[in-house]
Amino acid sequence: MKLTAQEISDLLNGQVEGDPGVEVSRVAKIEDGEPGAVSFLANPQYTPFVYTSNASVIIVEKGFVPEQQVKATLIKVESPYSAFAQLLETYNKTKSKRKGVSSQAYVASSASIGENVYMGPFVYIGENVVVGDNTRIYPGSVVDDNCRIGNDCLICSNVTIYTDCRIGNGVTLHAGVVVGSDGFGFAPQQDDNYLKVAQIGNVVIEDQVEIGANTTIDRATMGSTIIRKGVKLDNLIQIAHNAEIDENTVIAALTGVSGSTKVGKNCMIGGQVGLVGHIQIADDVRIGAQAGVSSSIRKKGFTALGSPAIEYNTYKKAYVHFKNLNQMANRMKELEKKLKNLEELHGNQ
């Protein structure tokens, strides 16, 4: 990618201060900036690097006023962090544009493949699969029979999409993601064995979802496990059968969402959180890392922490006592000892 400062400014709806014709071909952190690179300043503690960086272009906040001479051309925007994220996405798309189907890929004759699609070596596309325009499927991935994948998707290496699943537009599935594996359904029998319950549903992933490496989303027993529009899932997450994650919710790594649990819109769930099955989480809920959620949270905007999870401020107050339990126990022992001595003294009188 090679862009002028003016082209970057136009892309980001910014304002150039300096040479609009200076060209950049790579991105860099502000402290590591070098000629030909573009960087950004979002955290005030990195402000000194604006004056020492060798980057050719630096993206700064609209109200930034230099206190000394700046070598770089500045592009002033409303939000440097968001603007740089947009620029990185443009750079990434330019860098990774691949087209064509490898001769080592297998595509069933009944499959429908859109325009400008890339499929790497050892990709498997099953019967009646539909793959939309501009979608890229990297080596070793499997898309089983009757699946639908929308336009502009990125399917990284070794992703497995089981039968009948539906993937929307602009979806990213990172390496090792499994979509549509069987839900964990086993019926206990009288002889203490378990009878497997057939999982005949599917998984539906709506538009603009991103799913991190080695995350697993189980198919529904019946109906669909649903990941709604704009959801972002981190690496190593387990979403169980018939769960539903509503729009624009973000979930950090190592979290488990049990079967038939419904998570609302715009929630933020920290790492290593566990949600039991058949509960509901309201919109805009925040759940801190390692929390164990054992019952529904029906209050919009609720913040929970702990295991079992309770309201955040209540948890903080309780934790003050919890961390002092050893001291409190020792004081109790001392009080019990004094009480016993008083009882003995009273009994001897």
Active-site residue set: 241
Q: How far is the CA of 332 from the CAs of 212, 320, 338, in angstroms?
A: 50, 17, 10
User: For 228-307, where are the E strands, in sequence order?
Assistant: 232-233, 238-239, 244-245, 250-251, 256-257, 262-263, 268-269, 274-275, 280-281, 286-287, 292-293, 303-305
Residue closest to 244 by CA, chosen among 223, 264, 230, 269: 264
Residue closest to 87 by CA, chosen among 59, 55, 54, 63: 59
Question: How far from each other are the two terminal CA atoms of the chain, in whole angstroms?
Answer: 95
- β-strands 186-188, 194-196 pairing: antiparallel
Residue for token digits 């079992």? 308
Q: Longest Cα pair distance anywhere in the chain, in angstroms?
A: 102
Distance CA 139, CA 9 (A): 36
DSSP annotation string for 94-147:
HHT---EE-TT-EE-TT-EE-TT-EE-TT-EE-TT-EE-TT-EE-TT-EE-TT-
